[in-house]
């Protein structure tokens, strides 16, 4: 891979941006090589400043379910830009996007828009604590809910990639109320509630884990969470920032038939512009200021161009349910390709997948929770990532980030990716 422009950009960036990035995973600390200097994207492909072209499985870490530059989305953003960028007043677009989310997601009766998934998670935790009068929060190891203090404990995503337990600067008091349990383990949840149930405000969970790589919920796990939170009067918060409108139009909760009390959104609902949202039961949401006392605000919340982009994405997805079928077929093709090539190479490789979220966990047979996936062969993953870059495949640069497919990926894109995977497994020695 040619990379002289990528190196030059990194050098400049490192002088003025910590680590040369604005979000840690982008620094490629867990894989060899230099992050490509991307200058353009179209559909499933991106091009860098060194003239390399890649099949993109990063897709901006989730938003681009329709690929780069979907015409409907670009047109909608442009139309709003012609009328203004922000006014500090409620616009019709906010109402329209909220109406679409309420229509699509059965458990959501009202929505509040914010500007990131982090903000959505931290606001929902505040609301859950206010509504229950309790302080403790249950989260799962390897689960990532943004970087708010209380939720960083044993987090996935960049925190897992860098192998750090949390972060300096988080006061112990901020995490003292956080109980971290293994994903997919209902017994430990039951035990935690037996022990401290009357102090637990909420269980927050990625209904399909995506930030320790893709780890699907085991049968009964989410139902169990619903039952036990209801029994103890705690709230069930589904963090659908990644899964919302991705694994199904109604999110993971539609796929698995669970009704959480609060849900978080981001990524897909902003079409690539900065957006987050939280929503849920009306009686809970009406506690948010100014209809209730729980304070939460944002200068650019409900940003008109972002709302326009989100509406355009949702309208494409809503009008063509065949797109989810297509994403499932592409995902299944990629999964089968990985599994067959790993078997042929005599290498264990658990593939976690739900729809268009996919992770091959190199060197392990089972991926049910964070302890399992930490056993993956990260060294080999790094070499695989490097070989993929050389072959024109842009994969998330960590074993702990799920890859994404878009409706614009072709069977050929998938097959080329699998071929390169198979070639690397058979030639790279342990
Ligand atoms: C990406 C993500 C977040 C954080 O969203 P940001 O917009 O990066 O703050 C929270 N939860 C989940 C499940 C995510 O995937």
Please, which residues have CB within 8 angstroms of residue 17's CB and are 6 or more apart in sequence? Answer: none
- Residue 54: beta bridge partners? 46
Nearest CA to ligand 1 atom 15: 242
64 and 97, same domain (yes or no) = no
Q: Total domain count for the chain? A: 2
Contacts of 309 (CB under 8 A, 6+ apart): 73, 76, 77, 270, 271, 272, 273
Task: Give yes or no: residues 163 and 83 share one domain.
Answer: yes
Q: Does residue 206 have its Cβ closer than 6 Å to ligand 1? A: yes
Cβ atoms of 205 and 235 closer than 8 Å = no
Q: Does any ligand 1 atom lie closer than 6 A to the CB of residue 246?
A: no
> Whose alpha carbon is nearest atom 11 of ligand 1?
145
Give distance in angstroms: CA of 146 to centre of ligand 1: 5
Of 239, 261, 377, 413, the catalytic one is 239
Per the structure, the complete domain to which residue 130 belongs is given by: 71-319
Q: Which of 307, 345, 308 is nearest to 424 (CA)?
A: 345
**How far is it, in rounded angstroms, from Cα 40 to Cα 255?**
34
How far is Cα 420 from Cα 423, in angstroms, rounded to an integer?
5
Nearest to 302 by CA among 142, 112, 430: 112
CA–centroid distance, 200 to ligand 1, in Å, is 23
- Contacts of residue 103, defined as CB under 8 A and 6 or more positions apart, other chains included, come to none
Q: Which of 405, 396, 415 is nearest to 355 (CA)?
A: 405
Q: Are 105 and 244 in contact (CB under 8 A)?
A: yes
Pocket test for ligand 1, best of 121, 245, 260 (most atoms within 8 A of CB): 121
Instruction: Give catalytic status of residue 28 as yes or no.
Output: no
Same domain, residue pair 183 and 214: yes
Identify which of 207, 267, 298, 403 to mutate to test ligand 1's pocket (most ligand atoms within 8 A of the CB). 267
Q: What is the 3-state secondary structure (H, E, C) of 225-250?
A: HHHHHHHHCCEEEEECCCCECCCECC
CATH assignment at residue 227: 3.40.640.10
DSSP structural state of residue 290 = T
280 lines ligand 1 (CB under 6 A): no
**Beta strands at 235-239 and 200-205: parallel, antiparallel or unpaired:** parallel
Check which CATH number belongs to the domain holding 404 and give it: 3.90.1150.10
Residues 17 and 131 occupy one common structural domain: no
76 with 92, same domain? Answer: yes
CA of 149 to the centre of ligand 1 (A): 14
The predicted structure's pLDDT at residue 419: 97
Say yes or no: 158 and 283 in one domain: yes
pLDDT of residue 164: 60
3-class SS at 392?
coil
Same domain, 138 and 188: yes
Distance 341 CA to ligand 1 centre (A): 32
* Domain identity same for 82 and 64: no
Q: Do both 314 and 328 map to the same domain?
A: no
Is 144 marked active-site? yes
Give yes or no: residues 76 and 65 share one domain: no
- pTM score, two decimals? 0.97
On whether the CB atoms of residues 354 and 196 are closer than 8 A, the answer is no
Distance CA 364, CA 361 (A): 6
Q: How far away, in angstroms, is 122 Cα from ligand 1 center?
A: 11
CA of 264, closest atom in ligand 1: 11
Residue among 267, 278, 324, 377 flagged as catalytic: 267
Nearest 5°: the CA angle 357, 276, 93 is: 115
User: Is 117 close to ligand 1, i.e. is its CB under 6 Å away?
Assistant: yes
The protein residue with its alpha carbon nearest to ligand 1, atom 10, reads 145
For the question of residue 261 being annotated catalytic, the response is no
> What pLDDT shows up at residue 428?
59
Least Cα distance to 145 among 173, 111, 117, 185 occurs for 117
Output the pLDDT for position 300.
98
Residues 423 and 277 in one domain: no
Q: Of 304, 319, 334, which residue constitutes the final position of a domain?
A: 319
* 144 and 93 assigned to the same domain: yes
| CA separation for the pair 42, 69 (Å, rounded) | 6
| Kind and range of the H or E run holding 135 | none
Q: Give the pLDDT confidence score for residue 430 in this predicted structure.
A: 46
Residue where a domain stops, chosen among 319, 336, 353: 319
Q: What is the pLDDT of residue 165?
A: 60
Return the best residue to mutate from 113, 139, 144, 147 for the ligand 1 pocket (most ligand atoms within 8 A of CB).
Answer: 144
CA angle 198–167–264, rounded 5-degree value: 55
Q: Which of 271, 302, 319 is the last residue of a domain?
A: 319
Dump the DSSP string for 137-154: EEEETT----S-GGG-TT
Ligand 1 atom closest to 240 (CA)? 13
On whether the CB atoms of residues 157 and 25 are closer than 8 A, the answer is: yes
Q: How far apart are CA 219 and CA 208, in angstroms?
A: 12
- Mutational test site, ligand 1, from 115, 140, 145, 245, max ligand atoms within 8 Å of CB: 145
Tell me, using a 6 A CB cutoff, whether residue 312 lines ligand 1: no
**Residues of the chain predicted below pLDDT 50:** 430
């Amino acid at each position: 891979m040619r990379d002289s422009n990528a190196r030059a950009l990194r050098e400049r960036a490192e002088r003025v941006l910590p680590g040369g990035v604005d979000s840690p995973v982008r620094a490629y600390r867990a894989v060899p090589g230099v992050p490509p200097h991307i200058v353009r994207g179209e559909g499933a492909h991106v091009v860098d400043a060194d003239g390399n072209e890649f099949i993109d499985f990063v897709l901006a870490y989730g938003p681009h379910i329709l690929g780069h530059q979907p015409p409907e989305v670009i047109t909608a953003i442009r139309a709003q830009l012609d009328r203004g960028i922000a006014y500090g007043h409620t616009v019709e677009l906010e109402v329209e996007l909220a109406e679409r989310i309420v229509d699509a997601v059965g458990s959501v009766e009202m929505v509040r828009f914010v500007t990131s998934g982090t903000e959505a998670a931290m606001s929902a935790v505040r609301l859950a604590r206010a509504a229950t009068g309790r302080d403790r929060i249950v989260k799962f190891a390897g689960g990532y809910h943004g970087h708010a203090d209380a939720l960083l404990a044993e987090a996935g995503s960049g925190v897992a990639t860098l192998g750090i337990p949390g972060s300096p600067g988080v006061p112990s008091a901020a995490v003292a109320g956080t109980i971290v349990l293994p994903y997919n383990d209902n017994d430990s949840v039951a035990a935690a509630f037996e022990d401290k149930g009357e102090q637990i405000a909420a269980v927050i969970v990625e209904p399909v884990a995506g930030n320790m790589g893709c780890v699907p919920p085991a049968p009964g796990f989410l139902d169990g969470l619903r039952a036990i939170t209801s029994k103890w009067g705690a709230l069930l918060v589904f963090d659908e920032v990644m899964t919302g409108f991705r694994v199904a139009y109604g999110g993971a909760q539609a796929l698995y038939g669970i009704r959480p009390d609060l849900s978080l959104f981001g990524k897909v609902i902003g079409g690539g512009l900065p957006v987050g949202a939280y929503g849920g039961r009306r009686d809970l949401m009406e506690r948010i200021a100014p209809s209730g006392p729980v304070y939460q605000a944002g200068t650019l919340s409900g940003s008109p161009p972002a709302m326009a982009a989100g509406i355009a994405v949702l309208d494409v997805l809503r009008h063509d349910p065949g797109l989810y079928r297509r994403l499932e077929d592409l995902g299944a093709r990629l999964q089968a390709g990985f599994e067959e090539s790993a078997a042929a190479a005599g290498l264990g490789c658990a593939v976690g997948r739900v729809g268009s979220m996919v992770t091959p966990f190199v060197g392990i047979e089972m991926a049910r929770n964070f302890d399992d996936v930490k056993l993956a062969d990260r060294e080999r993953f790094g070499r695989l990532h490097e070989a993929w870059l050389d072959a024109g495949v842009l994969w998330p640069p960590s074993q702990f980030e799920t890859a994404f497919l878009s409706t614009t990926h072709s069977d050929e894109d998938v097959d080329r990716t699998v071929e390169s995977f198979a070639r690397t497994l058979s030639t790279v020695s342990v």
